[in-house]
Structure formats: structure tokens, C-alpha cells
Amino acid sequence: MACTDDCHSEAPVEAPRLLHTPEILASLLGWAFVVAALVSSALGATGIATILYAVGIVAAGFIFAREAVDGLGERKIGIELLMTVAIAGAAALGQWREAALVAGLYSISEALESYTLRRTRHAIRGLMALVPPTARVLRDGGEREVPVEEVQAGERVVVRPGEAIPVDGLIREGASAIDESAVTGESMPVDRQPGAEVFAGTVNGNGALVVEATRPAEDNTVHRIIALVEKAQAQKGRAQLIVERFGRIYSPAVLGVAVLLALVPLLAGWDAAWWAGRAVSFLVAASPCALAVATPVTLVAAIGSAARRGVLIKGGVVLEALGRTRAIALDKTGTLTHGRPEVTDTLALEGDESSLLRTAAAVEQFSEHPLGRAIVESARARGETVPGARHFAALTAAGVTAEVEGAQVAVLKPEAAKARGLQVPQDAAGWQAEMQAAGRSVVMVLRGEHLLGLIALADTVRPEAPGLLANLRAAGVEHVVMLTGDNPGTANAIAAQTGLTEVMAGLLPEQKVAHVSALRAKYGGVVMVGDGINDAPALAAASVGIAMGTGGSDAALAAADVALVGDDLSKLHEVILLGRRARRVILQNIAAALLIVVVLVAGTFLADLSMFAAVVGHEGSEVLIILNGMRLALRR
């Protein structure tokens, strides 16, 4: 996902300064004149005070009055127009002080809303400052420092201890503890070995690294996070859309009632001045300012908070749907598991386990098969020195062979080894059966026709997966099921390790979609979590699709509504809880906004509430609603 022109790494990302916000400058300027007018009035200079009140009204109200005029040009009657008419009406009635104070108070709430939204968005855009502007690339036999935008996928970059990593890539040389907190939300440094993925903007620990870039700078993880979050924050939630539709009817109705309150008594010969004052107070009391900010501030704060914890949510509708989640479907491979095989057990029949693994790795070091790569990585991780090999050959659907230390060595599937006439000892056959029953793959290592031992491999469960079910139930999720295309034996073995009791195995992509659709019909909404291309249809069919962000395929990420950037499954229940909190806060804000309007409108007619009292109550409630929504931005 390409970044826009204003988010290149060389451009400094400065925090929005309080006095650099136009709405705040306008409010401060307006209040300066209002305070001067109040002093002049106290000294008896009423004429000068009136002029200063008028100037203060223009200064504080210019921005929202201009928005009111722009809205009229688009045939929209909004909150800004209601407040502008109320202020103009008060001035026409000679209530210059009240009009100026209303303009000043409304400008403060507008300034606070603008500043808090800018500040929240800056917290995400500030990620760009984490990416260094240059990178040391290995070119032409040496190091060359170049702008990070010039680094191409496939080039190797040197990262020294303590430096920020400039590119997304894979570690090719070295090992270190990486601080990934800014990107994935992981609070502790994570140990990374050769072959591990690292992200631009994360900080290298005490090891020197050589990183092979996997993406160009404009498509790195930081750029993608910024682009996805900014797009998400621009999308509206269902509650916000309902409020806006209500506002398109409500605001013109309020203006119409206010006009009637002013004109009917005038035509009927009643106390026109009193009724005109009621009309102006009614405009302020009934203005839906607090209702308008009840939802968007909360959604922006929550989406920004999630992004800082390594969870990308693609819009307010998605966040609200997460808050209503009752059922979750989980893919197995790459979701509950790491998605890559690892050596889990070895049985050495001759020599020890280290020599068995070292010999097997010598043959497999030229192999592209996932099981072969897992054997080599396991040997190197244990510090084994892998011998050289010659005359490597891959045997279709059987295994691999090579000459190691003068002898012919083969790593074969059990079926292929037995097809050669190999006689497997009884204890080895029992061990093989035990491993396969547990869902592991087994290979046999032979020197000539002699069996050296067996190696078991499996796609291992993510460490956070066993506690996931309890966390989801604590978050209020009623039903959790595994949907996988893998065989039932492997699926049940993984389910036993994670505590899942419902497993649907051997599913084709269309069958996953059918199960997700059935869950959606039963529970009213379902979350699907997956990572592969075969998961994309099910992710799209779910109420909310969640993709494992870094390990997830491009198709899965495109189909999903949420991405877990660091492939951290423990974030799943956190995002469900965040959705529930956001939903509660939105409902609190809407209820409070409506209650305040009812109380103020009733007070306008039953208690002769002044316009100034109405605006203090109204704008005070708006400030409290903004602060209530912003609480979600502070949660870690």
C-alpha cells in the first residue's frame, strides 16, 4: 500500500501544537476581546464594551460561521448554523454579552474536539518518525549509505546494535533482541534469529544484523499501518451514520421551531421580546452538538489505540461489530499454529540425537521442502555444525539423498523407506505410530540401508493459543470453533493442545464459507480468523474477518476487516473487549447527549433558562462527552 506524498520518512512528523490549531487560536482571540469587553463594561464604558463584544463574536465565531455558510451552499442545515443564528439573534436583541459568551464557549468545545482528533491521528502518523531516513546497503562489495526509499526488495541492509531497522525484511546474518513495541504492541524485546521477519521502525538490540529487504520503503509495515488506520478513522460507524441521518432531520426541525417561536407571538401580539429570547435559548438548548461528537471521537480514539497495540481495524462499523461478537471461527494452520513445521522429537537408533540431527541436516541443507528446512534450522539453532554434502538428489514424493562424509545418506518418508525393503525395529515402529497419532510427520534417516533414527516434525501451536479460549469466554464470546482443511487427526491433536472442543476438519474453502454463514445466521454475527488464501472467502463471509497480519497472505489481508500486525493471537480477545468498550462508551455518550438536550429544552420553557445558562450546560456536556470518548485512546 503506497504512502501519500506527505508521509515520506524524510519529512519531519511534528505533534500538533496547541497554539497552531486554527480553532484554538480563534477561540483565544475571541476570548481576549470578550474579557476586554467585560472589563470595559465594569468600568462603565458600555459603548466600547459593545464594540469589543462584537469583535469577539466575529473572532471566536468566524470559523464555525463559515462552516454554516458552506453547509447552506450544500443545502445542509447543521449545528454550526443553529449556533450562528442563535448568536445573531441574541445580538439583535441587544444581548451582546450573552452572544459573545455563547460564541466563546462554543468555540472552546470546537477547538477541543479539533485538537483531540488531530492529536489522536498524530499518534499514528508519528510512527513515520521511527523509520530512519537512510540505510546501509551491501552493494558492490561494500557498505553504501543510501536514502531508505532507494532500497529495493532483495537487497541486504546492515543494522548495528541500538539502531532502528530501516526496512521490512528477513534476518540473514546475526541474532538480536528486537524492540517491536511501536509496531506490534509487544512490550518486551523479542529474540530474533536468522530467517525471522523484522519490521521497519523497530529497534535492534545488542546484536549486529544483516537484513534482506522484502518490500520497498513505500510499502513497509509502518506505511501500511498509517494508511490503513487513516482510512479506517475516516469511515463511519453504524451509530454515527444513524446520528447523522437523525441530524439531517433534527437540525432543520429545531431551526423551524425556533422561527415559529419568534414569529407566531409577534404576529399574535404576544410578548414578542420574551418569546424571541425563548427562541434563541431554544436554539442553543436543542442544538445536537454533543450528539454529533458522541460517536466519531470514540471511534477515532479506539481505532488509534488498537493500532498502537498492533491491531489494525478498518473502520467504525467493524469496531462496532466486534463489540457485538458472540461466535468466533478459527483457522488452524498459521492461526492457532505458527504455520511452519518444527522438529519436535527425535529417536536415535545409532549414536546420539545430535549426530542424527546433524546428519539429516547435512542432506536437507539443499532441500526446498518445508520439512527439510525445519530440520536444518533445528540443527543450527542447537549449535550443531552441519557437515558438507555432495551429489544431492530429490526423490519425488519420497525424500532426499546425498553423500555425507563418504557415505550415502537418505532422509525418507516411512513409506518410501519401507518400499526399499527396510526392516523397522519394533520399538521404532511403535514410536512412529505414537508420533503420527499425535499429528506429527515422521521421516527416517538412513546411512546406506541402515536405519540411523527417526525425526518427528509438526506445525507447533502458538504459545498464546492454549489460553485463548478462556480469554474469549471471559470477553463474552459464547461459541468458538476450529475450521480447517487439515485432516481430522492433526486437527484434533491441535484442538487438544488449545482446549478447543469443537473441530470441523477436512474442509474445502466453500465448506468453510458454509459453516461461517451458518454461525452468522445462528448467532447474529461471527468473527473468522485466518491467514491463508483459502481463508479469504470465509473472512469475507464473516461479520468481521481477522487476518494474521505479517504471516497472512495478501488475499487474506485484503478480505479481512482487522489485521493482527505481529501475528499475536493474544490480541484477539483484546480487540473484542475494545469493541465492547467502544460500544458501551458510544451508548453512554448518546444517552447523555439526548438527556442533556431534554433537560435544557425543558428548562428553557419551564424555568426561564437563559441562553447563557443553556450554552454552559450544553457545551459543558460536549466537553465531558469528548473526554469520555478519549478515554479509549489512553488504554493500553
CATH of the domain at 151: 2.70.150.10
- Looking at the structure, do residues 429 and 473 belong to the same domain, yes or no? no
The residues carrying an active-site annotation are 331
Q: Mapping DSSP to helix (H, G, I), strand (E, B) and coil, where does residue 480 land?
A: strand
Helix and strand totals (H; E) in the chain: 22, 22
Last residue of a domain, one of 519, 540, 570: 570
16 and 142 assigned to the same domain: no
**pLDDT reported for residue 306:** 82
pLDDT at 14: 44
Q: How far, CA to CA in Å, does 197 sit from each of 162, 192, 213, 331, 335?
A: 18, 8, 10, 22, 17
Amino acid at 438: A
**Structural domain count of the chain:** 4
Q: Which of 351, 434, 421 is nearest to 360 (CA)?
A: 351
Q: State whether 358 and 428 are in the same domain.
A: yes
Instruction: Assess whether 358 and 370 both reside in one domain.
Output: yes
Within this chain, do residues 114 and 234 fall inside the same structural domain, yes or no?
yes
**Same-domain pairing of 499 and 604:** no
Could you list the residue range(s) of the whole structural domain that residue 507 is in? Answer: 324-337+463-570
Instruction: Indicate whether 107 and 144 sit together in one domain.
Output: no
Position 5 scores a pLDDT of 35
Residue 327, pLDDT score: 93
pTM: 0.64
Return averaged pLDDT per consecutive 10 residues of the chain, 636 residues in all: 35 46 78 85 85 87 80 73 77 79 74 64 59 87 88 91 88 86 61 84 86 84 64 51 63 78 78 77 75 77 79 81 90 83 90 91 86 88 87 83 91 88 89 86 90 90 87 90 82 87 84 89 88 74 80 56 80 89 88 86 79 75 81 67
* CATH code where residue 456 lies: 3.40.1110.10
Q: Are residues 467 and 457 in the same domain?
A: no
pLDDT at residue number 226:
66
Domain boundary residue, one of 461, 481, 502 = 461
Residues 205 and 279 in one domain: no
Nearest to 364 by CA among 405, 407, 409: 409
| 318 located within any domain | no
For residue 309, being part of any structural domain is answered with no
pLDDT score at 550: 57
CA distances from 288 to 276, 292, 550 (A): 20, 6, 43
Q: Among candidates 120, 159, 141, which has minimal Cα distance to 304? A: 120
Q: Are residues 195 and 118 in the same domain?
A: no
In a domain, 429, yes or no: yes
Q: Do both 205 and 245 map to the same domain?
A: no
**90 and 138, same domain (yes or no):** no
